[in-house]
Chains A and B, each alone.
Chain A
Amino acid sequence: MITSQPDAHGHFGPYGGRYVPEVLMNPLEELEQAYIAARKDPTFQAELNDLLANYAGRPTPLYYAKRLSTNLDGAEIYIKREDLLHTGAHKINNCLGQVLLARRMGKKRIIAETGAGQHGVATATVCALFGLKCRVYMGEEDMRRQRLNVFRMRLLGAEVVGVGTGSKTLKDAISEAMRDWVTNVADTYYLLGSALGSHPYPLMVRDFHSCIGIEAREQILKATGRLPDSIFACVGGGSNAIGIFHAFIGDASVKLIGIEAGGRGPELGEHAARMTGSLPGVLQGAYSYLLQDADGQVALTHSISAGLDYAMIGPEHAWLADRGRAEYVNCSDAEALDAACVLSRTEGLIPALESSHAVAEAIKQAPGAKGQIFIVSLSGRGDKDIDIYRENLKDLDEPDTHK
């Protein structure tokens, strides 16, 4: 049976590890020790489970999308409703886990990066809940396209710091957060928002999201009496995907499908599809597949969804891909937009643009899959993306559509 656990130094096969300035090596070691101790501590787990249930809203439903399935006349599609969680996306699972850890470690100040702003909002939320100082780094381009989330973070009492270097997106926000952490490491906890970065982050973030897959596995067995045939999840850094995949890794019959951002096209710079021919490299603490040029400079990326717009895939995904346990495909900006419209109108669910990529792939594969069962991770709801939907669906935005 295939399993997926890192070695003692946080390597998933050749990937992952700790590629950071020496200043951070001991703090990462301390974080790992604190996490291992917390993981074994029943009071930590009890407090986390209580917050997940009563504050965040777990378990989330596994919803049978009957109209969508009927219209496509193929696979039976079930939707894992992470969009129903407090703050509107899966990100809160990880933030609750890490904030409890930060408190346990006696840290008074929390920093985070954010792309789509969902992780930033979830971080600002848990900091408000625990009375901790919170600073969120966000690329200026992302601040523009996810303006609503910038305001939500500020309303929650967090300080949002714009990052104007590089592509002004998630990658640049992570660099700036790492520089802050290097400087203020004694009292500051870096609450990283995806299954990325140096060990123990990819492991820890995955563990905190593994409830998604554990619930989904029980729910689908209860609903249908069998395991699903395929699971679809979008992959930015890879946290919602690894969270839903993990409980199924040992179930060889279940196909695990990660969907990356195909953006505007296949040329370097136009997409964030790391698994279509990029080479492994080192960025921001880890070794994994990385979009880069021939000189090893990190390539610019593009996606309509800020949360998928990043040059590296999380190391555990790289390893699952190499071993053939998961497969990675991509959907274009246009396909994601179409899928969002379809889901909105057949099921009354307006998805986040990130999640729309997973929906798009399920819609693509469903017609040829009669008799099969699909699960789609609906990692977040679309409120944050309304401005982007409006820009792209101009005909819906006329003052009077009855002309």
Chain B
Amino acid sequence: MSPTRISKRFEQLREKGEPGLVAYITAGDPSLERTPDLVFALERGGADFIELGVPFSDPIADGPVIQRGSARALANGTNVAKVLDIARRVREKSQIPLLLFSYMNPLLRYGFERLAKDAVAAGIDGCLLTDLSVEEAEHHLGALRTAGLDTVFLAAPTSPPERLALVARYSTGFIYLVSRTGVTGEQDTVSDAVGPLVAATRKLTSLPLAVGFGIAKARDAAVVGAIAEAVVVGSAFVRLIENNAASPDLDAKLEALARELKQGAVSARKKT
């Protein structure tokens, strides 16, 4: 498989000695029309990767902020096909790496073979499904990989070394480390579990590591940026979208938050 935009971006970041920022937003929130502009705003602010959330009716891994974002997106009629439309519109202007971020059922219903083809054609680079364990992914990975998509899996503080090894074996592009046991949502501090999890995963893989769940402030991005290749932020962006849905300044505010977080992450490496 030739390197995706994801691997290429990690390579560029490595050369610059800079941690990346992965920004999650739920596609279709506040509207299907506005999502591409929000992606461009995040990119201007310094986001290196975008996770486009495909909303699901029963998001068991998400806290209240992303649950509400998903509900708004569903009310706007968001589905896989419309998220792929958004990706096409982003690709008219930008080469930022794009990942689909969802739960199993919407993609299963769309069909993995069909999804793999259509997603690559729309400019998607990878795929991450919160409730798809490596064990159950077996049957679906072939279709995604053959089409040229990265398959990113999550590792957690509860994953023993055997499971970390499995996650590393099945992941391409990068590995997503869940910073703590819990659902998505902003936290006041970075969990103590992150350091040991990064260290344990490093021993098993040379893939880049992205750390997410709970990171919301520049200060936290710095803590993560010091030890991982990328910082993932979701709920903080979704909350900003929720609070400014009708505001003409939404794009500017998202851009500013992305800038703050990216600078936070970068500052960590500058010091060391």
Contact = CB atoms under 8 A, between A and B. Distances in A.
Interface of A: 9, 17-27, 165-166, 171-172, 175, 178-179, 182-186, 279, 281-285, 287, 290, 292, 294-298
A297 B74 CA distance: 9
Given A287-B136, A295-B106, A296-B106, 16 more contacts: A19-B131, A19-B136, A22-B159, A23-B178, A23-B181, A25-B133, A26-B158, A26-B159, A178-B60, A179-B183, A182-B181, A182-B183, A185-B158, A282-B103, A296-B109, A298-B57
B153 interface: yes
Contacts of B74: 297
B104 interface: yes
Contacts of A290: 105
Interface in B110-133: 110, 130-133
B56 interface: yes
Interface in B15-70: 56-61, 63, 67
A27 B158 contact: yes
B92 interface: no
A281 B105 contact: yes
30 contacts: A17-B135, A18-B136, A19-B104, A21-B130, A21-B131, A21-B156, A21-B178, A22-B133, A22-B154, A22-B163, A22-B167, A23-B157, A23-B178, A25-B159, A26-B158, A175-B59, A179-B63, A182-B60, A182-B61, A182-B183, A183-B181, A185-B158, A279-B109, A287-B136, A292-B105, A295-B79, A296-B80, A296-B108, A297-B106, A298-B58
B58, B79, B109, B167 interface centre (most CB from chain A within 10 Å): B58
Interface residues of B, number: 39
Contacts of B142: none
B63 A19 contact: no
Contacts of A279: 109
Nearest to B103: A282
A26 B132 contact: no
Contacts of B163: 22, 25-26
B156 A165 contact: no
Given A9-B135, A19-B136, A165-B67, A175 B106 contact: no
Nearest to B162: A26
B61 A283 contact: no
Contacts of B131: 19-21, 282, 285
A297 B61 CA distance: 16
Contacts of B59: 175
A269 to B, nearest CB: 13
Nearest to A28: B133
A393 B167 CA distance: 57
- A22, A27, A284, A297: residue with the most chain B Cβ atoms closer than 10 Å: A22
Contact of B109 (A19, A20, A184, A292): A292
A282 B105 contact: yes
Nearest to B131: A19
A24 B133 CA distance: 10
A25 to B, nearest CB: 6
Interface in B123-172: 130-133, 135-136, 153-160, 163, 167
B58 A175 contact: yes
B182 interface: yes
A45 B110 CA distance: 46
A298 B60 CA distance: 13
